[in-house]
Amino acid sequence: MFEARLIQGSLLKKVLEAIKDLVTDANFDCSATGFSLQAMDSSHVALVALLLRGEGFDHYRCDRNISMGMNLNNMAKMLKCAGNDDIITIKADDEGNTVTFMFESPNDEGNTVTFMFESPNQDKISDFEMKLMDIDSEHLGIPDTDYASTVKMPSAEFARICRDLSTIGDTVGISVTKDGIKFSTAGDIGNANVTCRQNKTVDKVK
């Protein structure tokens, strides 16, 4: 049995909006620590690693580790139906021995996940059931690495720079010096460089 109640429902909506363009199908792994997802995009250049810790949920129960394969587009469609301040509950039954028992109970609980949305004043409850997929994929681990440099910057700023540069060229080169970080690209119409100086407000280079 897996059950997780998230008060701040919009969080899940936002997260899903962000990743659904990168990844189409993925396994959500539920364990005692939390609700996590790890997948690569289809061209294998981006790895999405998502972890919603158990502590972050209002109620979190996970009897045993289970993997739930979902089509993220379909999931996003359902989450669109939730209001921004709704409370989302994710529920799934664990089917124990999938291999041996699947034929006897092929439908319903076993391969569906239920989302429950409650509006804060408790006057509306809707539940959606989604068929799960059986996704056979391998787990990837990211080895601990010593990084030569670490840069922290506002994500909005980073997104902006990338968006701007993408109008000039296809690829962006990132170089980091003591003074700051430089993004550069070149294309048919010319080339572009954006340099962000290191500043004190956000700390940087290790």
Partner 1 sequence: MDGNKRRAAYGQQQQQQGGGAGPPQKRPYSSSNNNGVSASYGNGRGGGPPPSMPPQRHLEEEDDYDEDVFLEETLLRDAEMAEEGREVAERMAKWRRPQLPPTDRTKDSILFQQLDIDYVVGEADKEWLPSRGQAAIIRMFGVTENGNSVCALVHGFEPYFYITCPPGFGPDDVESFRRLLNDLMREHNKAKHGCSVFVAAVSMVTRQSLLYFQKTKQRTFLKIVMTLPAYVAACRDILERGIQISGLGYQSFTTFESNVLFALRFMIDCNIGGGSWVELPPGSYRFKSQQLSYCQYEVDVMYDKIISHPSAGRYGKLAPVRILSFDIECAGRKGHFPEPEHDPVITIASLVTLQGEQRPLVRNVLTLKQCSPIVGAEVMSFETERDLLLAWRDLIREVDPDLMIGYNICNFDLPYLIDRAQTLKINEFPFLGRIRFSKLRMRDTTFSSKAYGTRESKEVTIEGRVQFDVLQAMQRDYKLSSYSLNAVSAHFLGEQKEDVHHSIISDLQNGTPETRRRLAVYCLKDAYLPQRLVDKLMYMYNYIEMARVTGVPFSFLLARGQSIKVMSQILRKARQRGMVVPALKVQGGSQDSSYEGATVLEANQGFYEKPIATLDFASLYPSIMMAHNLCYCTLVRKEDVSSLPLESVEKTPTGDIFVKPHLEKGILPEILEELLAARKRAKADLKLATDPLEKAVLDGRQLALKISANSVYGFTGATIGKLPCLEISASVTGYGREMIMHTKKLVQERYCIGNGCEHDAEVIYGDTDSVMVKFGVSCIEDAMKLGKEAADFISSTFPKPIRLEFEKVYYPYLLISKKRYAGLLWTKPEKYDKMDTKGIETVRRDNCMLVKNLVNECLHKILIERDIPGAVQYVKNTITDLLMNRMDLSLLVITKGLTKTGEDYQVKSAHGELAERMRKRDPATAPSVGDRVPYVIIKAAKGAKGYEKSEDPIYVLENNIPIDAQHYLENQLSKPLLRIFDPILKNASKELLHGDHTRSVSIATPSVGGMMKYAKKRRSCMGCKAPLADEDNTLCSHCQGREVELYHKCVTKVRDLEETFGRLWTQCQRCQGSLHQDVLCTSRDCPIFYRRKKAQKDLAEADAQLSRFQF
| Residue ranges that bind partner 1, judged by CB under 8 A | 21-22, 25, 29, 31, 39-47, 64-67, 69, 98, 131-143
DSSP-derived 3-state class of residue 44: coil
CA distance linking residue 179 with residue 113, whole number of Å: 50
DSSP-derived 3-state class of residue 108: helix
Using the minimum distance from each CB to partner 1, give the nearer residue, 139 or 178: 139
Using the minimum distance from each CB to partner 1, give the nearer residue, 41 or 109: 41
* Backbone dihedral region for residue 59 (phi beyond 0: left; psi -120 to 50: alpha; all else: beta): beta
118 exposure class (CB count in 10 Å sphere: 0-12, 13-18, 19+): buried
Least distance to partner 1, CB of residue 139, Å: 4
Using the minimum distance from each CB to partner 1, give the nearer residue, 30 or 87: 30
Using the minimum distance from each CB to partner 1, give the nearer residue, 142 or 148: 142
Residue with tokens 């580790």: 65
Least distance to partner 1, CB of residue 138, Å: 4
Least distance to partner 1, CB of residue 9, Å: 26
Give the CA diameter of the chain: 65
Least distance to partner 1, CB of residue 119, Å: 31
* Under 8 Å between Cβ of 170 and 187: yes
Least distance to partner 1, CB of residue 166, Å: 13
Using the minimum distance from each CB to partner 1, give the nearer residue, 14 or 131: 131
* Under 8 Å between Cβ of 192 and 168: yes
Helical H segments across 49-103, by residue range:
72-79, 98-101
* Under 8 Å between Cβ of 129 and 109: no
Least distance to partner 1, CB of residue 199, Å: 29
Using the minimum distance from each CB to partner 1, give the nearer residue, 132 or 165: 132
Beta carbons within 8 Å of 20's beta carbon, 6+ residues apart: 72, 73, 75, 76
